[in-house]
């Protein structure tokens, strides 16, 4: 239940530490813009069902415990792939239109033919620094959670002689 509780804020799209929330807010709350970076959030509906089931029907034996652990691990792996890894890859690798900027001294804007660049550069200037900071803070929290989950799964494998997967793709910096 410790890892279930730690995972819950990541899956709550209204929580300020959720990647969807960060991207959506950074995209001026434009749902379509945010969805180009981060998939539609299905985990917010799925995960609470898993958590409630686990709380109301806690594992009673080793087999049920291992099954619940594997299910949790699969939910985390799915979240990691569909929300975190793919979103970070899109932000880093896809080329986004950089909005024209206005020179404060002359009042002239850059040419109407926009250049292309990383996602952060495509945001309005006043969103870029806060979004970059929030995304990096999210990445560090998420990577720490994955490290702890991996260590826990390794201990379970050693203790129970199982071979639960302990691999999670780590999000790379933008």
pLDDT of residue 104: 59
| Region 107-113 average pLDDT | 59
pLDDT tens digits, residue range 68-79? 999 999 999 999
In a domain, 57, yes or no: yes
pTM above 0.75, yes or no: yes
> What total of structural domains would you count in the chain?
1
In a domain, 68, yes or no: yes
pLDDT of residue 107: 62
Distance CA 135, CA 67 (A): 33
In a domain, 165, yes or no: no
Domain extent for 152: 2-100+113-160
In a domain, 72, yes or no: yes
Helix (H, G, I), strand (E, B) or coil at 125: helix
In a domain, 61, yes or no: yes
In a domain, 108, yes or no: no
Nearest to 122 by CA among 110, 111, 114, 134: 114
DSSP 65-106: HHHHHHHHHHHHHHHIIIIIIHHHHHHHHS-EEPPP-B-TTT
In a domain, 48, yes or no: yes
In a domain, 71, yes or no: yes
* Comparison of pLDDT for 39 and 160, the residue scoring more: 160
Phi-psi bin for 28: left (phi > 0), alpha (psi -120 to 50), beta?
left
Residues linked to residue 96 through DSSP beta bridges, in sequence order: 117
């Amino acid at each position: 239940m410790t890892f279930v509780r730690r995972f819950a804020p990541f899956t709550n799209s209204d929580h300020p530490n959720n990647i969807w929330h960060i991207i959506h807010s950074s995209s001026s709350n434009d749902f379509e813009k945010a969805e180009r970076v981060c998939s539609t959030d299905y985990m917010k509906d799925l995960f609470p069902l898993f958590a409630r089931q686990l709380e109301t029907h806690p594992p009673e034996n080793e087999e049920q415990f291992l099954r619940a652990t594997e299910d949790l691990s699969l939910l985390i792996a799915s979240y990691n792939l569909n929300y975190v890894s793919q979103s970070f890859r899109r932000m880093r690798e896809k080329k986004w239109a950089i909005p024209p900027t206005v020179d404060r001294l002359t009042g002239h804007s850059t040419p109407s033919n926009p250049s292309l660049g990383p996602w952060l550069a495509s945001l309005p200037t006043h969103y870029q620094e806060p979004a970059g900071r929030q995304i990096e803070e999210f990445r560090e929290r998420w990577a720490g959670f994955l490290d702890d989950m991996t260590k826990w799964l390794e201990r379970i494998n050693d203790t129970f002689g199982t071979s639960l997967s302990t691999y999670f793709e780590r999000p790379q910096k933008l």
